A and B are shown apart, each in its own frame.
Chain A
Amino acid sequence: GAVVSQHPSRVICKSGTSVKIECRSLDFQATTMFWYRQFPKQSLMLMATSNEGSKATYEQGVEKDKFLINHASLTLSTLTVTSAHPEDSSFYICSAREIRTATNEKLFFGSGTQLSVL
């Protein structure tokens, strides 16, 4: 099946620093990528929808100036957590939709990034 590569898998940083997470579709083109956040024992919460070549659409309550999303190509989307604080510590997961599909079963997830802000 299609592969979505996400890295880093784990990052520990000091409060106030910025962290960039990359999500790549390795063997397919993804016009749309989604970024989720998951706190322990909670469900995946959609943060934003990223469309190649256009601005991301953020869900209500997600600060677009804090979580910067760039989807510059059909195979790469990045999420930058700016001025990270301990409350941003979470598991961040991206997913990508294969360009030729019309149904959700072709939505592929990255392996996730565990962010810990000290």
Chain B
Amino acid sequence: QKEVEQNSGPLSVPEGAIASLNCTYSDRGSQSFFWYRQYSGKSPELIMFIYSNGDKEDGRFTAQLNKASQYVSLLIRDSQPSDSATYLCAVNMRGAGSYQLTFGKGTKLSVIP
């Protein structure tokens, strides 16, 4: 069974702090990794994607990937109350061209003003 694991949280951080969200995946052959933000009752919104080992930065968001450890993380700098949401880690476990994602259960983030 191919899986994506996340700590369900809730993760609480004060406004302005760095929020660190973690995700592990079971399929060593996975090639592409995604972070989605989902507000309650709404559909997921793509925040970041990463394909190569290392860090990828986009504004206040940094995605980190370590394929050897089968680990991907999302850092949110200068966290804002509007960042409070559930963050879903998604992995394409079926290889390039399949476009099918396996989602983790999500980590609920709460940014305290």
Contacts and interface: CB of A to CB of B under 8 A. Distances in A.
Interface of A: 6, 32, 34, 36, 41-46, 49, 91, 93, 97, 102-105, 107, 109-112, 114
Report the 3 A-B pairs with minimum CB-CB distance, sorted nearest first: A109-B43, A43-B103, A43-B105
B112 to A, nearest CB: 21
The prevalent SS among residues of B at the interface is loop
B43 A93 contact: yes
A36 B106 CA distance: 15
B103 A112 contact: no
B80 to A, nearest CB: 22
Contact of B88 (A41, A44, A112): A44
Contact of A104 (B34, B43, B88, B104): B34
26 contacts: A34-B99, A34-B100, A36-B103, A41-B8, A42-B105, A43-B4, A43-B88, A43-B103, A43-B104, A46-B100, A46-B101, A49-B100, A91-B41, A93-B43, A103-B32, A103-B49, A104-B101, A105-B46, A105-B49, A107-B99, A109-B43, A109-B45, A110-B43, A111-B42, A112-B43, A114-B41
A104 B44 contact: no
A117 B92 CA distance: 32
Given A44-B44, A112-B42, A114-B41, A107 B101 contact: yes
Interface of B: 4, 8, 32, 34, 41-46, 49, 88, 92, 97, 99-106
A41 B99 contact: no
Nearest to B92: A104
Contacts of A91: 41
A82 B99 CA distance: 27
A30 to B, nearest CB: 11
A44 B8 CA distance: 14
Contact of B49 (A32, A104, A112): A104
A112 to B, nearest CB: 5
A55 to B, nearest CB: 16
Contacts of B92: 104
Given A104-B92, A109-B43, A97 B99 contact: yes
B43 A105 contact: no
